[in-house]
Structure 1
Amino acid sequence: MKRVGFLLKVRQELIEEYKEHHRSVWPEMLAALREAGWHNYSLFMHPDGTLFGYFETPESLEAATARMAETEVNARWQQMMSPYFEIPPGAQPDQVLIELEEVFHTD
Structure 2
Amino acid sequence: MKSKRYYLACDLKDDPELFETYKDFHKNVWPEILESIKASGIEQMEIFNIGNRLFMVMEVNDSFSFESKAESDAENDKVQEWEALMWTFQQQLPWAKPGEKWMLMDSIFKL
TM-score range, shorter chain: 0.7 to 0.9
Q: Distance in 1 between matches of 2:82 and 2:11?
A: 17
Q: Distance in 2 between matches of 1:100 and 1:87?
A: 14
Shift in CA distance, 69/39, structure 1 to aligned 2, threshold 3 Å: farther
- Residue 79 of structure 1 aligns to which amino acid in structure 2? A
Which residue number in structure 1 is paired with residue 49 of structure 2? 45
- Residue 31 of structure 1 aligns to which amino acid in structure 2? E
CA contact (8 A) 2:91 2:101 kept: no
Provide the aligned C-alpha RMSD in A: 2.4
Structure with higher Rg: it is 2
Q: Could you say which structure has the higher helix fraction?
A: 1
- With the length of structure 2 as denominator, give the TM-score of the two structures: 0.76
Q: Out of 25, 44, 55, which is 1:21 matched to? A: 25
Which residue number in structure 2 is paired with residue 82 of structure 1? 87
Q: How many angstroms does 1:81 deviate by?
A: 0.8
- With the length of structure 1 as denominator, give the TM-score of the two structures: 0.78
Q: Which consecutive residues of structure 2, in runs of 5 or more, have no partner in the other structure?
A: none
Shift in CA distance, 52/80, structure 1 to aligned 2, threshold 3 Å: same
Q: How many angstroms does 1:68 deviate by?
A: 2.8
Q: How many angstroms does 1:40 deviate by?
A: 0.6
Q: How many angstroms does 1:10 deviate by?
A: 0.7
Which residue number in structure 1 is paired with residue 78 of structure 2? 73
Q: Which consecutive residues of structure 1, in runs of 5 or more, have no partner in the other structure?
A: none
